[in-house]
Amino acid sequence: MRVARTNMAGMLWMDALHRRWLLRRTAGESRWQLVKHMASWVRLFIRQTRWLRALNARETLRRAAHADPRLYERWHRPYISTHFDLDTRRRIVSSHYAFVMRRFPAWLCERIVSGGSALLATLRLDGVPGAYLSLRKPSRGEAGELSLLLLTLEKEVLASCILTFDRCDSVIIGAVRGAGPHTPFEATREFIQGSHGLHPTDLLVSLVRELAALHGLKRIRAVASSARVAGSSHGVGADGDDAFWREQGGVPAESGCHELPLSLVQAPCDVGPRSRREKRQLREAFREKACEAFAAAFRTTDGRHPVGATVSVSRDAAAIRNLSSGGQRPASEHGGMLVAGL
């Protein structure tokens, strides 16, 4: 029995090392960089062996590691927050893929595990080109395992939010980033104009809250700027991150994170000049419909909500409806398409 386990461990090591070597060639890593990574494998030999066995024991984790060999060593170095220790990092990686496997529709789970991307919804804006909502794995995993993207129709990044599920009741936002370096400023301006004043990063946080409500999560955490992992690209701004999270109702918590409320009460839509009220109503109608279109992608093929999910309307959507006036014109929706302000 012991000999069989030893042989199996040796085979897992050889397979993992081979895949990690192939990654070095495609990622352009130097030999010394690979040696540095391998040194951590040896230093954590017993834990690493257990991790390789855990990855091999579950098909989802095994396939995810084959698609992204950095998963073999993700927990060796600072991950999501610099305050997370080795055991916490390893638990989060395992919990995330277990969550995706149990809660996401099969087609979406397959895309994510295999390292692909999934188009979740198409948003049509008022008077300007539309936008896509997409989900994929980040190119690097220091800030988390999933990247929620708001894209132009030309696939330019308007905003991104990197998130990771922890256990079965929590989601951690590792970073929120604005427009990509190759996205023209005009594209962001057009989105804000077409959504009646809704900023791309603000929309993505609302979608994370929608996702939390859909799956019955009890906690949303966001990493503070002081705990951001070195090497992960900067988000809203070096110190702007913390200001952004405060605007979202966040309060400092443990492990270098902000604790975000599950819902954020928006300003009343019936206060102020008429033109401002109408614009606010259209903006919140767009936000609500965007959340509905986003949530639809996470339902099973027969239209049911995922296992363990709540069937009530999201907390943000409920707050929006309570604040909107009775004469508001809702945004029109055509299938999976969203039309704002029509």
Place of tokens 């098909």: 59
Note the pLDDT tens digit of each residue in 147-178: 999 999 999 999 999 999 998 899 999 999 99
**185 & 125 share domain:** yes
**146 & 75 share domain:** no
Whether residue 136 has pLDDT greater than 60: yes
| 333: containing domain | 116-339
Q: What is the pLDDT of residue 269?
A: 57
* Total count of domains within the chain: 2
Which of 241, 243, 247, 245 shows the shortest CA–CA distance to 259?
A: 245
Q: Is 265 helix (H, G, I), strand (E, B) or coil?
A: coil
The pTM (predicted TM-score) of the whole model is: 0.84
Q: What backbone torsions phi and psi does residue 151 show, to the nearest 5 degrees?
A: -120, 150
**147 & 273 share domain:** yes
**95 & 126 share domain:** no
User: 10 Å Cβ neighbour count for 6?
Assistant: 11
**154 & 66 share domain:** no
**121 & 268 share domain:** yes
**215 & 83 share domain:** no
User: 10 Å Cβ neighbour count for 256?
Assistant: 19
Note the pLDDT tens digit of each residue in 170-217: 999 999 999 988 999 999 999 999 999 999 999 999 999 999 999 999
**123 & 38 share domain:** no
Give a yes or no: residue 110 inside a domain: no
Q: What is the pLDDT of residue 64?
A: 93
Q: What is the pLDDT of residue 312?
A: 36
Whether residue 2 has pLDDT greater than 70: yes
Q: Percentage of the chain surpassing pLDDT 70?
A: 81
- Residues 162 and 141: their CA atoms lie apart, in Å, by 9
**139 & 219 share domain:** yes
Pairing relationship of beta strands 157-166 and 146-152 according to DSSP bridges: antiparallel
Percent of the chain that is helix, strand, coil (3-state, to 5): 45, 15, 35
**250 & 318 share domain:** yes
Note the pLDDT tens digit of each residue in 242-262: 999 999 999 999 999 999 999
**96 & 123 share domain:** no
Give a yes or no: residue 81 inside a domain: yes
Note the pLDDT tens digit of each residue in 39-82: 999 999 999 999 999 999 988 889 999 999 999 999 999 999 99
**Residue finishing a domain among 71, 102, 133:** 102
Give a yes or no: residue 329 inside a domain: yes
Q: Percentage of the chain surpassing pLDDT 90?
A: 63
Q: What is the pLDDT of residue 342?
A: 29
Give a yes or no: residue 55 inside a domain: yes
Give, as one character, the DSSP assignment of residue 62.
H
Which of 277, 172, 176, 190 shows the shortest CA–CA distance to 233?
A: 176
Q: For residue 53, what are its two tokens? A: 């066995």
**94 & 125 share domain:** no
> Is the CB of residue 188 less than 8 Å from the CB of residue 200?
yes
